[in-house]
Amino acid sequence: MTEFSQIRAAVIGTGFIGTVHVQALRRLGVQVAGVLGSSEARGIERAAEIGVGYAYASLDALLADDSVDVVHVTSPNHAHFPQVMALLDAGKHVICEKPLAMTSAESAQMVTKAKASGKICAVCYNIRFYPLNQQAHGMVAAGDLGRIHFVTGHYHQDWLAKLTDWNWRLQADKGGALRSVGDIGTHWVDLTSFVTGLKAKSVFADLTTFLPERQRPTGPVETFSSAQGATETVPIDTDDSSAIIIRYSGGAKGVMTTSQINVGRKNSLIWDVAGSTASAAWDSETPDHLFIGRRDGPNEVLMRDFTLMNPAGTRAATLPPGHVEGFADSFFNFFRAVYVDVCSGTRGADSTWATFEDGHYEMLFCDAVVKSSREQRWVDLGEH
């Protein structure tokens, strides 16, 4: 494995996902120079809790640290655009959490800036890096499924199913106009696009807010944790769930649903791709198994085993067969691939991490979903 110990990285954001980034960087051998919290006090507190030796007082202090090569942006969505633009001006490589921005107008500017910078700029669609998703990508590219006809699936969770569940993602000014689609649906959109090589041409969307009022705690609440103490009633207009029909370029069709209120579904992402000669399906809650369906032969379940996988899948596999690679491993696999390119200074010919262009595509998708739901009609991506 490439030596990463001379690379210094910083992480913006000290919540749930920022901590995941720090842990994966340590496993990779990258030096974590420091973290930047939502406030100086918050940064110092969280740095001590997760064992990082330094907390930056401000974004300006981080920008001025010439020893930092790569910055991971895990802040709330509304902060991505100004932070990433400033980081690129400062000459840093950037790994940004999804969605890339609040609007496609912002993400378009980020794409232009990234190209001009010459830096490695990745979007954190880590789910691509479960090894069997890389395997499926390789299978489709090799023609193993034939022509892709139909793509279906969902991303369902229950962590916002109660009136007292709270997170900044519920607020449109911090998370964007879309919530279940923007927060988790973009993962499904990116993953199925990566696996199939297809891009959505148009969408017909129905968004629903089942809980139009919620109880917001007066104190801070971390992602996936329960609110405690005093609360206040606030209106909610972001989507609890969605149902979206997709037309892909080339004639394939798709159907996806998202939900953050499906009780009992903790983190269920499922995709099912039907081709003309075979099908494949994957479930994030059983990530080491890939279903492969056939008409004229027996179906099979491929267990993640690099002795049986194609080159794309094998490159992403880290642990021996039978040792389940899960959520944290996907970040390790993803960062490993990006940091190889950081070391070389350019994106490799066989690199499969999501670019800012991919992130912009997801923003165009989200804009079309909002417009379609409001106007109850088919909307082409980029229509407005």
What are the backbone angles phi and psi of residue 145, rounded to the nearest 5°? Answer: -100, -5
Q: Model confidence over 205-263: pLDDT tens digits?
A: 999 999 999 999 986 666 656 556 789 999 999 999 999 999 999 999 999 999 999 99
Q: Is the pLDDT at 348 greater than 60, yes or no?
A: yes
| Residue-level pLDDT at 2 | 60
Report how many domains make up the chain.
Answer: 2
Tell me how many degrees the CA angle 191-193-196 measures, rounded to the nearest 5.
Answer: 105
Single-letter code of the amino acid located at 318: T
Residues 107 and 166 in one domain: no
Residues 91 and 163 in one domain: no
User: Which residue in this structure is represented by tokens 């267990």?
Assistant: 303
Residue 343 included in any domain: no
Residue 329 included in any domain: no
Residue 32 included in any domain: yes
| Residue-level pLDDT at 383 | 83
Find all residues with CB under 8 Å of 280, minimum gap 6, and list them.
Answer: 136, 139, 140, 145, 195, 272, 273, 290, 291, 292, 293
| Residue-level pLDDT at 229 | 74
Give the end of a domain, one of 126, 153, 185. Answer: 126
Instruction: Report residue 5's pLDDT band, with 50, 70 and 90 as the boundaries.
Output: very high
Q: Is the pLDDT at 126 greater than 50, yes or no?
A: yes
* Residues of the domain holding 46: 8-126
Instruction: Report residue 382's pLDDT band, with 50, 70 and 90 as the boundaries.
Output: confident
Helix (H) or strand (E) holding 74: none
**Number of Cβ atoms within 10 Å of the Cβ of 243:** 16
**Number of Cβ atoms within 10 Å of the Cβ of 66:** 10
| Residue-level pLDDT at 3 | 82
Q: What is the DSSP letter of 185?
A: I
Residues 135 and 236 in one domain: yes
Q: What percent of the chain has pLDDT over 90?
A: 94
Residue 172 included in any domain: yes
Residues 185 and 76 in one domain: no
| Residue-level pLDDT at 1 | 46
Residues 18 and 82 in one domain: yes
Q: Is the pLDDT at 118 greater than 60, yes or no?
A: yes
The CATH number assigned to the domain holding 285 equals 3.30.360.10
Single-letter code of the amino acid located at 253: K
Residue 1 included in any domain: no
Q: Model confidence over 175-213: pLDDT tens digits?
A: 999 999 999 999 999 999 999 999 999 999 999 999 999
State whether residue 34 is helix, strand or coil: strand
Q: Residues 123-140: what's their mean pLDDT?
A: 98
Residues 53 and 92 in one domain: yes
Residues 75 and 59 in one domain: yes
Q: How far apart (Å, rounded) are the C-alpha atoms in residues 88 and 109? A: 12
Q: Model confidence over 308-340: pLDDT tens digits?
A: 999 999 999 999 999 999 999 999 999 999 999
Residues 167 and 40 in one domain: no
Annotate 202-270 with DSSP letters as a single string.
EEEEEEE-S-SEEEEESS---TTS---S-EEEEE--S-SEEEEEEEETTS-EEEEEEES--TT-SSEEE
Residues 170 and 265 in one domain: yes
Give the end of a domain, one of 126, 157, 191. Answer: 126
Residue 383 included in any domain: no
Residues 232 and 97 in one domain: no
Q: Model confidence over 142-164: pLDDT tens digits?
A: 999 999 999 999 999 999 999 99
Residues 221 and 97 in one domain: no
Q: Mean pLDDT across the chain, nearest whole number?
A: 95
Residue 335 included in any domain: no
State whether residue 310 is helix, strand or coil: coil
Residue 361 included in any domain: yes
Give the end of a domain, one of 126, 158, 192. Answer: 126
Residues 37 and 175 in one domain: no
Q: Model confidence over 23-71: pLDDT tens digits?
A: 999 999 999 999 999 999 999 999 999 999 999 999 999 999 999 999 9
